[in-house]
Amino acid sequence: MTRFDLLRSPFLARLLRSRWPRLILSVAALAGFVLAIAAGLAGTPVGSRNFGIIAVWIAWWAALILVAVPIAGRGWCSICPLPLPGEWFQRGGILAPAARRRGLGLRWPRRLRNLWIQNAGFALLAISSTVILTRPAVTGALLLGLIGAATVVSLVFERRAFCKYLCPIGGFVGLYSQVAPVELRVRDAALCAAHREKTCYVGGPGGEGCPWQVFPAGLTRNSSCGLCFECLRTCPYDNIAVNLRPFGADLPRPAGRRLDEAFKSFLMLGSALAYSAVLLGPWGEIKLAAFRVGTPEWAAFAGGFLAATFLALPGAFALHVAAGRLLAGPRGNFRETLASYSQALVPLGLAAWVAFSLSFVFSNLSYLWPVLSDPFGAGWDLFGTAVGAWTPYLGAAVPTLQAGILIGGLAWAAGLASRIGHRLLGDDKRGSRRALLQASPVVGFAFVVTVVQLWLLIG
Amino acid sequence: MRPEHLARLLVILGVLLPLAGAAIILLPPLGRNGEVIEVHARVAEDGGWLPSELVVPAGTPLTLRLTSDDVVHGFAIGRSETQAVDVLPGQYSELTLTFDRPGRYTYYCTRWCGPGHWRMRGTIEAQGGGATPSSAAEPPYVRLGLDLDAPHPAPGVPERRPSAIGGEALGIDLPAGLRGRAYYETHSPYQAFQSLREQGSFSRLGDERVWDLVALLWRQATTARALEAGRALYAQNCAACHGEGGGADGVMATSLPGSLGGADDAPGPADLASLESMMGARPALLHGKILRGGMGTGMPYFGPIFTDGQLWSLVDYLWTFTMEYEE
């Protein structure tokens, strides 16, 4: 596949090697983050007039899901303020490599080196989301909890253990970052293999060892790389490339896919469907139950959500994969086949999230202007925009956009399933025929999911 | 400055500047004196008005900064001509009031904000600045010794709604003693019917005709302006429970029994379109019921809210559910 190394541009190379641009963006994000916490905890409890709700769940979310993730992958992780305080403490500085490390610096437990905790964290957020999304104080407390957790984990464990294994947002971003047309990779893996010091991993005079604990030569997927660009600074051979590449280039590789990754796909896809049903659907009882966190109705809702995303959806998908294996003739391990085909759910899930987000982002974006002038809902008017009527943007175009995106996601998922089938069963004539047979039930599954999402969003 | 120090300063500023914003809102508003009070409105289930009791010096302007923490509310001072102010979620409305006379004033919500809407009340105690005015005159129901909670069925009722137009068409001079406000306020329609029946000159009229004359008496006791004022008050304050046509079928009454502050087994709202009940009720009784409220039934007490003129306008309007005043 074709690649274009952005570092060929001296300007971009200088920009990415410098810590300042990333730091400035990160500090701006930190300021917004602290403002969101302060507004959430001390500002008006009216969500539509509180910076904490509008800036985070409308503006930031829109920027993340509609732009940052599809275009820049883990670009958000690159400037995310959550690890900033903990990393400062851990390294003993912000720019300078640490002379002496602080904190316990423990290694993350081997048994927990997977995505299950991230999955559980995201599920926990998902079942409480109606309250999180509407109550500023809860949003403020959640953000405070996240930054507190990131800091504490940095004090106990080495590097960015929180980002890699715990952050529920990082898990979401990581999964869909595989779609992005940007990647950080090495230019020549042999050179890395021969480099005895491995400064990209352990650190060196130019910078820190990879905070994400990744050996760049082994990078095959965007989900593992936080785009902090430390390896650019520590590689003595200028062997790191930041490539422009085709969309979704990580996805067709079936090798090495794990079940925790597959379940992340199920969880994300299931959440997009569940959010569409609960937040946008006509079922008031479900909405009320989801809102009454801690009550028996909510427990029933949460149980239903978890059963749907961790049992029903994976179960249905597994049945389709099993059907494909029956049609094509079993070959290889079923779990691996299941995990491989789950990659087809990545574009499908991203399309579902984008389409779902379009439903509320543009209709509520006009709330942003008042909260910029009056972030706490305290009667301020800093920029003269405090009094603004609610104005939905792109109203009539949204359903068309949603339909296009969902159908596009289906087409992408179908193509991807076919390519995964070819990778699993071979590209020769017989392999191709078997690959199509094996992939066809997965395509059918994707079709049903798309129809359901279209029905939920457009009716 | 060394780059590392500059970076640290940037991070520290990134934290401190937003926190400074938070600190500002926790402080009292700058440049304001002590007579500016911020009042938050929440549905009654979440606390109602915060604060709900204010003490101010009489004769001194009081500025209220009103905001809602949930839904749209309205703010008004009871028994006054002050215009109601909308209290919008997350926005501020300012209102400056001066209480010239010491006393206890009630502020209340003017918007149907939730099931406990009528529990959203607060008081302003205006102190000093002269003698406290003497308490209000005895309400008519006290003067007449009426039991507000006793049933008041009429021993006899018309077969149809009495018609003032029909009564007028008879062209009969009504007895002077039955005409006028004083008689109307203190007698039930059935008492008026009985009195007319006792007059020999009406013996040739059938019962329905006599009831029409009662309706005419009742209409003559009020004015079109009072009826219009009563209609507006009823629509804003009563229709949600008693129904638009007075038939006890308002949305709040039918969907939320017991939720209006009354006991779960409390009787529902009175049927103001019931001939049996209304023909036996004196206007003074209805005036008293509105003034005092329904004691345990969820019917709010409007004494501190409505002026006496408003109370009577409302009473006058209630008869339009059982009597025809116009075509």
Mean pLDDT, residues B81-90 taken together: 88
Cα torsion A302, A307, A309, A315 to 10°: value is 180
Select the residue from A19, A22, A23, A51 to test the B interface by mutation, using most B Cβ atoms within 10 A: A23
A242 three-class SS: strand
Mean pLDDT, residues A289-313 taken together: 93
Phi, psi of A348 (to 5 degrees): -65, -45
The H or E element that residue A231 is part of is: helix A230-234
Give the separation between CA A102 and CA A154, rounded to whole angstroms: 9
pTM score, whole prediction: 0.81
What are the respective helix, strand and coil percentages of chain B, to the nearest 5?
A: 40, 15, 45
Query: How many angstroms from the chain centroid is the CA of residue A140?
Result: 21
Banded model confidence at residue B3, pLDDT cuts 50, 70, 90: confident
Interface of A with B (CB under 8 A): 19, 23-24, 27-28, 30-32, 34-35, 38-39, 41-46, 48-50, 81, 84-85, 88, 93-96, 375-379, 387
Chain B CA closest to residue A378? B25
What is the ipTM for the molecules in this complex?
0.86
Banded model confidence at residue B301, pLDDT cuts 50, 70, 90: confident
**CA angle, residues A320, A324, A325, in degrees to nearest 5:** 120
Q: CA of A427, closest CA in chain B: separation in Å?
A: 54
Q: What is the pLDDT of residues A314-344, one digit of tens each?
A: 999 999 999 999 998 877 788 889 989 999 9
What pLDDT does residue A251 have? Answer: 86
Q: Fill in the DSSP letter of residue A254.
A: -
Q: What is the pLDDT of residues A173-223, one digit of tens each?
A: 999 999 999 999 999 999 999 999 899 999 888 888 999 999 999 998 999
Banded model confidence at residue A425, pLDDT cuts 50, 70, 90: confident
B35 three-class SS: coil
Contacts of B11 in chain A (CB under 8 A): 27, 30, 84-85, 88, 94
User: What are the angstrom distances between the C-alpha of B109 and each of B42, B65, B76, B84, B115?
Assistant: 10, 15, 7, 9, 12
Mean pLDDT, residues B237-254 taken together: 87
Chain B CA closest to residue A48? B90
Do B276 and B270 meet the contact criterion of CB atoms below 8 Å apart?
Answer: no
User: CB of B30 within 8 Å of any CB in chain A?
Assistant: no
Give the separation between CA A334 and CA A323, rounded to whole angstroms: 11
Q: What is the pLDDT of residues A238-267, one digit of tens each?
A: 999 999 999 998 888 766 668 888 888 999
Q: Which long-range contacts (CB under 8 A, 24 or more apart) does B203-211 make?
A: B205/B170, B207/B156, B207/B158, B208/B158, B208/B159, B208/B160, B208/B162, B209/B166, B209/B167, B209/B170, B211/B158, B211/B162
Sheet holding A182-186, edge to edge: A4-5, A240-244, A182-186
Q: Which amino acid is at B25?
A: I
User: CB of B47 within 8 Å of any CB in chain A?
Assistant: no
A196 three-class SS: coil
Largest separation between any pair of C-alpha atoms in chain B: 112
Query: How many angstroms from the chain centroid is the CA of residue A378?
Result: 34
What does chain A come to in residues? 459
Tell whether the model's pLDDT for residue B250 goes beyond 50. Answer: yes
Banded model confidence at residue B30, pLDDT cuts 50, 70, 90: very low
Strand-pairing partners, residue B324, are: B163
Whether A34 sits inside 8 A of B18 (CB atoms) is: yes
What pLDDT does residue B28 have? Answer: 58
User: CB of B72 within 8 Å of any CB in chain A?
Assistant: no
Give the separation between CA B177 and CA A385, rounded to whole angstroms: 66
Q: Is B21 exposed, middle or buried (0-12, 13-18, 19+ CB in 10 A)?
A: buried
What is the number of helices (H) and of strands (E) in chain A?
A: 23, 3
Do A459 and A358 meet the contact criterion of CB atoms below 8 Å apart?
Answer: no
Contacts of B91 (CB under 8 A, 6+ apart): A49, A377, A379, A387, B67, B68
Give the separation between CA B82 and CA B94, rounded to whole angstroms: 13
Q: Nearest to residue B25, comparing CAs of A30, A379, A31?
A: A379
Do B89 and B127 meet the contact criterion of CB atoms below 8 Å apart?
Answer: no
State the number of CA atoms in the 13 A half-sphere of A207 facing the CB: 17
Q: Which B residues 82-121 touch A at CB under 8 Å? A: 89-92
